[in-house]
Structure 1
Amino acid sequence: MMERRQIVQLWRLGGASVMVTLVRVEGSSYRRAGARLLLAQSGEYAGTISGGCLEAEVIRKAAWMVREGARVQRYSTMFDDTAEVPFGLGCGGVVDLLLERADTPECSALMSAMEGTLSGTTAVVVTWLPGEGRALRRVVLVEGAVVFASEGLSEKKIECARGLRANEQYEGRFVEELRAPQRLFVLGAGDDARPLVSMAALMGWSVVVADGRSQLARAERFPAAERVVADGVNSLGIKASDAVVVMTHSYEQDREILTALLPVAPRYFGVLGARHRSSLLLSEAAARIGLSVAACCERIYAPVGLDLGGDGPEAIALAVLAEAQAVCEGRLGASRRLTAEDVARYVNEGGVARYLPQCALDEVR
Structure 2
Amino acid sequence: MLNIADTLHGWCRAARPFALATVVGTRGSAPLPVGTSVAVDEDGTAVGSISGGCVEGAVYELCRQVLHDRGAPQRAWFGYSDDDAFAVGLTCGGELDVLVQRVDPGTQPHLAAALDETVQGGPAAVAQVVDGPDELLGRTLCVLGDTDSAHGTLDGGPADRVVAAQAGALLRAGRTARVEVGGDADTCPERLSVLVHVHASRPRMLIFGAVDFAAALSQAGSFLGYRVTVCDARPVFATEARFPYADEVVVDWPHRYLERTEVDARTAVCVLTHDAKFDIPLLRLALGLPVGYVGAMGSRRTHDERLRLLTEAGVTEERLARLRSPIGLDLGARTPEETAISITAEIVAHTNRGTGLPLSHLSGPIHRDRALVS
Equivalence for 1:362: none
2:67 aligned with 1:66: yes
Structure 1 window deviating more from structure 2 (214-223 vs 182-191): it is: 214-223
Listed one character per residue, the Cα deviations across residues 192-233 of structure 1 (whole Å, up to 9, x for unaligned) are: 223322222222223222223334434454444333322333
Residue equivalent to 1:127: 129
Amino acid across the alignment from 1:127:
V
Distance in 1 of aligned mates of 2:219 and 2:36: 23
Q: Contact 2:329/2:356 (CA < 8 Å) preserved in 1? A: no
Q: 1:201 aligns with which of 217, 222, 227?
A: 222
Determine the structure 1 residue equivalent to 2:152.
149
SS of residue paired to 2:149:
strand
Distance in 2, Cα, partners of 1:158 & 1:287: 50
Structure 1: segments with no counterpart, 5+ residues: 344-365
8 Å CA contact 2:269, 2:286 repeated in 1: no
Amino acid at match of 1:279: D
**Would you say 1:291 and 2:315 are equivalent positions?**
yes
Aligned match for 2:298, one of 250, 254, 273: 273
Residues 113 and 131 of structure 1, relative CA distance in 2, 3 Å threshold: farther
Match of 2:194 in 1: 174
Q: Which runs of 5+ in 2 are unaligned?
A: 13-17, 168-176, 182-190, 366-374
Once the two structures are superposed, the pairs formed by residues 134-283 of structure 1 within 5 Å of their partners are 136-142=138-144, 143=146, 145-150=148-153, 153-162=155-164, 166-168=177-179, 173-176=193-196, 178=198, 179-233=200-254, 234-236=256-258, 237=261, 239=263, 241=265, 242-248=267-273, 250-264=275-289, 266-283=291-308
Aligned to 1:184, the other structure's residue is in SS state: strand
Amino acid at match of 1:154: G
Q: Quick one: structure 1 residues 208 and 62, their matched pair in 2 at CA, closer, same or farther if it must change by over 3 Å?
A: farther
Give SS of 1:139's match. Answer: strand
SS at match of 2:324: coil
Q: CA deviation at 1:139?
A: 1.7
Aligned-pair distance for 1:303? Answer: 0.8
Once the two structures are overlaid, the 10-residue window that deviates more, 314-323 or 230-239, is: 230-239
CA distance in 1, matches of 2:58, 2:209: 47
CA–CA distance in 2 between the matches of 1:245 and 1:42? 48
CA 1:200–1:39: 2 relative to 1, 3 Å: farther
Pairwise CA distance, 1:184: 1.4
Alignment CA distance shift 1:339-1:35 (3 Å): same
RMSD: 4.1
What is the aligned-residue identity percentage? 24
Deviation at 1:186, TM superposition (A): 1.2
Relative to structure 1, the CA distance from residue 94 to residue 299 in structure 2 (aligned partners, 3 Å threshold; closer, same or farther) is: closer
| CA distance in structure 2 between the partners assigned to 1:276 and 1:20 by the alignment | 55
Partner residue of 1:105? Answer: 109
Question: 1:244–1:72: structure 2 CA closer, same or farther, 3 Å change rule?
Answer: farther
Contact 1:74 1:96 in 2 (8 A): yes
Please report how far the alpha carbon of residue 316 of structure 1 lies from its aligned counterpart in structure 2 after TM superposition.
0.8
Q: Distance in 2 between matches of 1:245 and 1:89?
A: 40
Deviates more, 1:36-45 or 1:176-185: 36-45
Which residue number corresponds to residue 93 of structure 1?
A: 94
TM, length-normalised to structure 2: 0.70
Partner of 1:34: 35
Distance verdict in 2 for CA 1:110–1:54, change over 3 Å: farther
What amino acid is the match of 1:258?
A: L
Rate the CA distance shift 1:269–1:39 in 2: closer, same or farther, 3 A: farther
Per-residue CA shift, 1:124-181, capped at 9, x if unaligned? 624356996767321223555223114x842344245357685345776433262544
Q: Does the 8 Å CA contact 1:21/1:36 hold for their aligned counterparts?
A: yes
Deviations, residues 17-61 of structure 1 (Å, cap 9, x unaligned): 665431122444122212345679896856x42244345665687
Aligned partner of 2:92: which letter?
C
Judged with a 3 Å threshold, the aligned counterparts in structure 2 of structure 1 residues 89 and 326 are, in CA distance, closer, same or farther, namely closer
Q: 2:352 aligns with which of 307, 316, 329?
A: 329
* Whole-angstrom CA distance in 1 between matches of 2:232 and 2:53: 41
Q: Which residue of 2 aligns with 1:303?
A: 326
TM-score (norm 1): 0.71
Q: Is the 8 A contact 2:216 2:337 kept in 1?
A: yes
SS at match of 1:281: helix
SS, match of residue 167 in structure 1 = strand
Q: Is the 8 A contact 1:125 1:139 kept in 2?
A: yes
How many residues are paired up? 330
* Partners of 1:76 and 1:89 within 8 A in 2: yes
CA distance in 2, matches of 1:296, 1:131: 46
Aligned equivalents of 1:148 and 1:114: distance in 2? 15
One-letter amino acid of the structure 2 residue matched with residue 108 of structure 1:
A
Aligned-partner Cα distance in 2 for 1:164–1:69:
29
CA deviation map 1:271-313 (0-9, x unaligned)? 111111232233223323x224x44531311111011224312
Moved more, 231-240 or 163-172: 163-172
For 2:234, give the aligned amino acid: R
Quick check: 1:72–1:130 contact (8 Å CA) kept in 2?
no
Contact 1:72 1:131 in 2 (8 A): no
More moved, 315-324 vs 168-177: 168-177
